[in-house]
Amino acid sequence: MKRLFHATLFFLGLLLVWHLVVRAKVWSPILLPSPASVGLYLRDAVRDGSLWEATLVTMRRLLVGYFIGILIGLPLGLVTAASKFAEDTIGVLALGLQTLPSVCWIPLALLWFGQTEAAMLFVVVMGTMWSVVLATDNGVRSIPPIYARAARTMGSKGLHRWTHVLLPASLPFLVSGTKQGWAFAWRSLMAAEIYVTILTGFGLGHLLHYGRELNAMDQVIGIMLIIVVIGLLADKVLFAPWERFLHRRWGTGKR
């Protein structure tokens, strides 16, 4: 309760500073709109449905791309951790491509897929899966060998060893890995939506882009706020339950 109070106070203070800076007319209101005008934009965008629609479009792309990324990345990570050959081939590829900023996939995606949903999806999947591969690989490698030894003596082998020992043992790494994957997916999609205009749906990135084109700074800042809020909510909804479980079982982490 006290922490909630502190957080509320901090953000109200931030709003106040913003308001005072605008009132002091340090910068032109075209460059820095007031908190009130951003609020007005958001109210109108909610009323005419454009904000809701853009959020839906963006979330659909994000979730689909993210889960495809995990679906490919997780098994690949298990494979690179299990096999020397896969480590020297797929592992090196993953390490290389993970360092590639996901914006760099956009020109390729446009040429291959044109201005389509597939291009968006491709960018998000590429942004997600390599970091998931690396996190999974790292997770399985970090398992204390005693778990596998103890499990072996009790008769666990083959598929059972993977599903009942190695996967649960690497859970702390898988959670942080998929969380990192989520952050990468989110960044990739915003980059893709800002750079690529497609007619099958306007996402939040497009609203941001057109805010700039129209010199509508209230829109730009309003959409940025929405993007931040979605990021925070995803953290709470998607990852907090897992982190609570880890905290309870492993005794790790804060809270």
Partner 1 sequence: MPLVDGLPEEEQSAKLAVENVSKRFHTGRRQQDVHALDGVTLQVAEGEFVCLVGPSGCGKSTLLNIIAGLEMPDSGQVLADGAPILGPGRHRLVMFQESGLFPWLDVFGNVMFGLKLKEGLTNAERRKVAQFYIKLVGLEKFADANIHELSGGMKQRAALARALAPNPRVLLMDEPFAALDALTREQLYGDIQRIWAARKKTIVFVTHNVREAVCLGDRVVLFSPNPGRIRQEFHIPLPRPRDINSVELAGYSSQITKALKGILHDGDAAAE
Q: Summarize as ranges the residues that interact with partner 1 (CB under 8 A).
A: 144, 146-147, 149-156, 160, 164-165, 168-169, 171, 248-251
Closer to partner 1 at the Cβ: 2 or 255?
A: 255
Task: Say how far apart CA 186 and CA 127 lie, in whole Å.
Answer: 9
Alpha-helical segments (H) within 114-239 = 117-141, 145-153, 158-161, 167-169, 171-195, 204-213, 217-234
Residue corresponding to tokens 């909804």 = 237
Shortest separation between residue 171's beta carbon and partner 1, angstroms: 6
The one-letter amino acid at 203: G
Distances in Å between the Cα of 237 and the Cα atoms of 57, 100, 203, 231 are 19, 29, 21, 10
Closer to partner 1 at the Cβ: 6 or 248?
A: 248
Shortest separation between residue 161's beta carbon and partner 1, angstroms: 11
Closer to partner 1 at the Cβ: 29 or 253?
A: 253
Q: What are φ and ψ of residue 83, in 5° steps?
A: -125, 130
Closer to partner 1 at the Cβ: 47 or 149?
A: 149
Shortest separation between residue 136's beta carbon and partner 1, angstroms: 16
Shortest separation between residue 183's beta carbon and partner 1, angstroms: 25
Closer to partner 1 at the Cβ: 169 or 227?
A: 169
Each residue of 138-152: b (16+ CB within 10 Å) or e?
A: bbbeebeeebeeebe
The tokens for 237 are 């909804």
Closer to partner 1 at the Cβ: 49 or 158?
A: 158
Shortest separation between residue 144's beta carbon and partner 1, angstroms: 8
Closer to partner 1 at the Cβ: 131 or 170?
A: 170
Tally the C-alpha atoms within 13 A of residue 224's C-alpha that lie toward its C-beta: 11
Shortest separation between residue 149's beta carbon and partner 1, angstroms: 6
| Cβ 137 vs Cβ 208: under 8 Å | no
215: left (phi over 0), alpha (psi -120 to 50) or beta: left
Shortest separation between residue 236's beta carbon and partner 1, angstroms: 23
